[in-house]
């Protein structure tokens, strides 16, 4: 009788342990890319102190909009960061990345798992004989596990993990953009409201001048030319009001859409009308260069680069043979009393090497490497653009502050000039043209001052945005709102993926190794 040989368990375990210990991950290990110019780059220090001894303060990076001390602005920014469709879409990309990470992690475990079973009712009828009916049962289980000998699956997990953190950084970046857009639109609305008030005041002033010239003309003391010039200037100022009102409504609609509301008025802005937000910051200095590295868009680009680096390893692992362990267990039986029950099993390693497909696989590695270099260049460009954005915003903020300091006495001088011209006109010392010129100058200087004050706030908002602040509060809130979590949980088995919190803001995104 032939003896059946069985592989000893200790030998199989030892071989598996040896294979697992010998596993290595091919492909490059990602390191944070070096930015040669960043070490020597001096961030902008554009100070505009009100006094020579004004203290230097670092601009806040978190909830910077609260430094404007405007409750309505705080409320609108918070709502925009929760309800904006772009924010919600970015949150769903995090959910997608979590699911992709789960897919990548599952490759580390047995990849082929199949359970099968069969029940057959077999009958036979012979001529003149009894019917024979037999039930046959069979079931089997198949499992296959490709050992991650070359790190193909581990590199896949590495790529998925980096993509997950990239999705978080992109979510942070959307939070920054939405906060800046909400604050910018809010400031623009307040500036337009103030411009409308100035237009109404100047129109009222010019209307009184028109009435004076009409009375003087009717009494024969003035020429018709003065009347027509006064009427032209009054109507011209009056014509700016509908344009400003239309711009105001359009800006309000833009803010409503940002808040995921239908277009219309904003009841929260009823209080504080015509007041342009001003932050109590006397100087913007001490902007560290490493702020550029912490910007969400820069972190997202870095994580995308890390993911692509891991994909090079995934492609390179395809060049080498794959080693897998496979096993099957089967059981078969019949309903016959004298029938036998059979157990079949098989276990053993498998070896696959696409050696004749070497050219295609090798070029696939080159494709992934070329994509890595493309993302590397994009990363360098993101850093450069971030530095430019910070410098541009700081310079614009500083120069607009200087311009406000110049325009304020200019408005005072224009107002005084109008008073003098009006008095001299009444006393007959000057003609009405001097009054018209003074009114025109006052209106122009007031418009410039309001516009420039609005520009100061806009430039400060742009500077905060360039610094990459404003995303931190969102880390403490759920990524997905309760209603959406309930809907998605009923539709698919998300379990804890929807409610898992984001890493806290204090714990920065895990960064790959820094360059030596």
pLDDT at 124: 64
User: Lowest mean pLDDT: which of 6-15, 204-213, 303-312, 478-487?
Assistant: 6-15
SS3 for 129?
coil
CB 472 within 8 A of CB 62: yes
- pLDDT tier, 49 (very low <50, low <70, confident <90, very high otherwise): very low
Mean pLDDT over 59-82 rounds to 87
Give the contacts of 131 (CB within 8 A, at least 6 positions apart).
123, 124, 125
Encode pLDDT of 376-421 as tens digits: 999 999 999 999 998 899 889 989 999 999 999 999 999 999 999 9
Identify the CA nearest to 400 among candidates 95, 191, 210, 233. Answer: 191
pLDDT at 73: 94
Q: In 149-295, which ranges are continuous DSSP H helix?
A: 152-218, 224-258, 291-294
Q: Is 485 exposed, middle or buried (0-12, 13-18, 19+ CB in 10 A)?
A: middle
The pLDDT > 70 percentage for the chain reads 85
SS3 for 347?
strand
Q: In 295-357, which ranges are continuous DSSP H helix?
A: 296-317
CATH number belonging to the domain at 28-108+165-182+266-318+358-497, selected among 2.60.120.620, 1.20.1250.20, 1.20.1600.10, 3.30.360.10: 1.20.1600.10
- pLDDT tier, 245 (very low <50, low <70, confident <90, very high otherwise): very high
Instruction: Give me the residue spans of the domains in the chain.
Output: 28-108+165-182+266-318+358-497
Cα–Cα distance for residue pair 5/434, rounded to 1 Å: 117
pLDDT at 48: 43
Average pLDDT along the chain: 84
Give the contacts of 360 (CB within 8 A, at least 6 positions apart).
none
Tokens 């009100």, located at residue: 50
* pTM of this structure: 0.83
Mean pLDDT over 302-315 rounds to 94
- Starting at the earlier edge strand, list the strands of the sheet with 322-334: 112-125, 131-147, 322-334, 342-352
Encode pLDDT of 411-451 as tens digits: 999 999 999 998 988 888 888 889 999 999 999 999 999 99
């Amino acid at each position: 009788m032939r003896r059946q040989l069985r592989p000893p368990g200790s030998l199989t375990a030892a071989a598996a342990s040896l294979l697992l210990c010998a596993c290595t991950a091919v492909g490059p290990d990602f390191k944070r890319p070096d930015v040669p110019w960043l070490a020597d780059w001096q961030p902008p220090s554009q100070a505009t102190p009100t006094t020579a001894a004004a203290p230097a303060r670092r601009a806040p990076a978190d909830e910077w909009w609260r430094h404007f001390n405007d409750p309505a602005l705080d409320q609108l920014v918070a709502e925009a960061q929760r309800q904006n469709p772009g924010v919600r879409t970015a949150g769903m990309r995090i959910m997608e990345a979590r699911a992709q990470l789960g897919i990548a992690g599952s490759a580390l475990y047995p990849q082929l798992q199949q359970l099968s079973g069969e029940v057959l009712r077999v009958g036979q009828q012979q001529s003149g004989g009894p019917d024979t009916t037999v039930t046959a049962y069979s079931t089997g289980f198949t499992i296959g596990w490709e050992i991650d000998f070359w790190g193909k699956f581990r590199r896949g997990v590495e790529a998925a993990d980096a993509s997950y953190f990239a999705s978080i950084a992109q979510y942070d970046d959307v939070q920054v953009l939405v906060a800046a857009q909400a604050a910018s639109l809010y400031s623009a609305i307040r500036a337009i409201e103030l411009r409308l008030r100035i237009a109404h005041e100047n129109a009222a002033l010019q209307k009184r001048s028109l009435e004076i010239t009409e009375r003087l003309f009717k009494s024969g003391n003035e020429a018709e030319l003065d009347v027509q010039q006064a009427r032209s200037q009054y109507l011209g100022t009056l014509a700016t009001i509908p344009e400003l009102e239309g711009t105001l409504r359009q800006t309000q609609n833009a803010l409503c859409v940002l808040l995921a509301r239908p277009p219309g008025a904003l009841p929260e802005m009823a209080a504080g009308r015509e007041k342009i937000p001003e932050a109590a910051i006397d100087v913007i200095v001490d902007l560290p260069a490493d702020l550029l590295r912490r910007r969400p868009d820069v972190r997202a680009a870095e994580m995308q680069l890390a993911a692509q680096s891991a994909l090079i390893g995934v492609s390179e692992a395809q060049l080498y043979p794959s080693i897998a362990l496979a096993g099957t267990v089967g059981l078969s039986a019949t309903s016959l009393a004298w029938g036998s029950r059979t157990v079949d099993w098989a276990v053993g390693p498998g070896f696959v090497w696409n050696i004749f497909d070497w050219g295609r696989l090798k070029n696939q590695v080159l494709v992934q490497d070329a994509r890595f270099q493309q993302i590397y260049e994009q990363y360098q460009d993101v850093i450069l653009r971030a530095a430019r954005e910070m410098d541009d915003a700081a310079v614009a903020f500083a120069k607009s502050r200087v311009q406000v300091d110049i325009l304020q006495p200019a408005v005072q001088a224009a107002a005084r000039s109008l008073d003098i011209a009006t008095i001299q006109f009444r006393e007959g010392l000057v003609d009405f043209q001097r009054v018209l010129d003074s009114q025109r100058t006052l209106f122009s200087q007031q418009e410039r001052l309001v516009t420039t004050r609005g520009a100061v706030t806009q430039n400060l908002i742009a500077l905060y945005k360039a610094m990459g602040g404003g995303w931190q509060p969102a880390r403490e809130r759920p990524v997905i709102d309760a209603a959406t979590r309930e809907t998605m949980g009923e539709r698919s088995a998300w379990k804890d993926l929807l409610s898992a919190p984001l890493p806290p803001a204090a714990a920065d995104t895990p960064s790959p190794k820094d360059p030596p």
